[in-house]
Amino acid sequence: MYKPCSDCLNKCAKKENVYKKCYKLHALDWLSNIQSPFEYQKYDFVEIQFKNNRKEFFINPEKIFLNQGDIVTVETKSGIGYDIGIVYLTGELVKLQIRNQTIDSKTLKKIYRKSTYKEINIWKSFRKKELTTILIAKKIIKNFHISMKICDVEYQGDGEKAIFYYTAENRIDFRKLIKEFAFHFHTRIEMRQIGYRQEAAKIGGIGSCGRELCCSTWLKNFKSVTTNSARYQQLSINIQKLTGQCSKLKCCLNYELDAYLDAIKDFPNYDSKIYTEKGIAQCMKIDVFKREMWFSYIKNPNTWFRIKVKKIKEILEKNKITPPLEELSAIHTIQKTELTFKDLSI
């Protein structure tokens, strides 16, 4: 992701080529130093980044030589005016992404040119107006008593259009609101509803891990996250700890989920019960890394026995053949409030 420096909009250099230094790159173009065998096709497709990590693919019909960080003028979706973005990725790596995402290259818009000094100044002037626009828009919405929240505003590079991003629980009637916005801001208005995850991505912030939010840096596609992801990883269902700044379950719950699911395949069923001469014991929890399972008697749930997965499988096999005669014996007992933990590791 590109991030403006603290004084970017106020004190940025007055020469065109210095603007590149005001942005940080968070993507690794691992093919940048590899010469393409198809030199004539090397710069056909380019990934351009706009405000708040919004990225789109464009075609470069004029074969303009582009590098990461170059500011370019591109065609808009509506075909009216132009937009300005920053080159994010170029070359063969972009082609791989287009192929993986099944994007039809025939529908891609064009890159016109590298942005001129005049176009960059116009673009920056509208970027400065965005904060003021948000404040005015919120006042207008409050006067209209509309139940919605304006999250962000993005002006087109030439200022011909402004996109208002909002969140709302119910459907909104924008007919009067758009007229009022057009009267105040003197531009074409587009209202675009986003989810709460997209809102957090646009606003940004620091996660509980101490790093910048994944959704505002590198994460592009949001996958559904359920409480099953936490259960498979043996996490306590504490909503305050499992939810992120968007008030939804954290995306990082899915990061290690596949590794846990693969490890759990070799474990006996969590609902398995052990039949012993003292009674029936049921599984209370599992330890994926140590490959252990904790069991307790149904009649005495406060005492937990730690047993290796290999031993559990042997006991379950015996239960299938002969009547249950095995007793859970403790090697080490740990006193902890109401629960008693006993070590049966073998």
- Domain boundary residue, one of 224, 242, 262: 262
DSSP 31: T
Cα gap 258→260, rounded to integer Å: 5
The pLDDT of residue 335 is above 60: no
pLDDT digits (tens, 9 = 90+) for 297-311: 888 888 888 888 888
Q: Write the DSSP assignment of 271-289 as a string of letters.
A: T-EEEETTEEEEEEEEETT
Same domain, 93 and 26: yes
The pLDDT of residue 339 is above 60: no
Q: Write the DSSP assignment of 97-131 as a string of letters.
A: HHHHTT--GGGPEEEEEEPPHHHHHHHHHHHHHHH
Cα gap 3→117, rounded to integer Å: 20
Cα gap 328→331, rounded to integer Å: 10
| Entry pTM | 0.67
Least confident of 60-64, 334-338, 340-344: 334-338
Neighbours of 259 (CB within 10 A): 11
Length, in residues, of the chain: 346
Same domain, 207 and 238: yes
Instruction: Please list, in sequence order, all residues whose beta carbon lies within 8 angstroms of the beta carbon of residue 215, skipping any fewer than 6 positions away.
Output: 197, 198, 200, 201, 222, 246, 251
Same domain, 77 and 100: yes
The pLDDT of residue 43 is above 90: no
With pLDDT > 70 as the criterion, what percentage of the chain qualifies?
Answer: 80
Pairing outcome for strands 273-276 and 71-75: unpaired
Residue 81 lies in a domain: yes
Same domain, 110 and 12: yes
DSSP 341: E
Same domain, 24 and 80: yes
DSSP 36: P
Residue 1 lies in a domain: no
The residue segments making up the domain with residue 186 are: 122-194
Average pLDDT over residues 281-308: 86
Pairing outcome for strands 292-297 and 279-287: antiparallel
Same domain, 216 and 163: no
Pairing outcome for strands 45-49 and 55-59: antiparallel
Per the CB < 8 A criterion, the answer to whether 275 and 312 are in contact is no
pLDDT digits (tens, 9 = 90+) for 110-150: 999 999 999 999 999 999 999 999 999 999 999 998 889 99
Residue 2 lies in a domain: no
SS3 84: strand
Tokens representing 173 are: 């009637």
- Domain boundary residue, one of 95, 115, 135: 115
Residue 267 lies in a domain: no
The dihedral through the CA atoms of 117, 119, 124, 125 has a sign that is positive
Look at residues 156, 16, 23, 33 and name the one whose alpha carbon lies nearest to residue 90.
33
In single-letter form, the type of residue at position 42 comes to: K
Average pLDDT over residues 14-24: 40
pLDDT digits (tens, 9 = 90+) for 174-203: 889 999 999 999 999 999 998 888 888 888
Instruction: Please list, in sequence order, all residues whose beta carbon lies within 8 angstroms of the beta carbon of residue 261, skipping any fewer than 6 positions away.
Output: 232
Block residue for tokens 């693919």:
57
Instruction: State the chain's mean pLDDT as an integer.
Output: 79
Residue 35 lies in a domain: yes
Cα gap 31→28, rounded to integer Å: 9
Count of domains in the chain? 4
Tokens representing 58 are: 């464009």
Least confident of 2-16, 58-72, 157-171, 197-211: 2-16
Residue 163 has a pLDDT of 92
**pLDDT interval class at 36 (50, 70, 90):** low
More confident residue, 214 or 334: 214
Per the CB < 8 A criterion, the answer to whether 180 and 172 are in contact is no
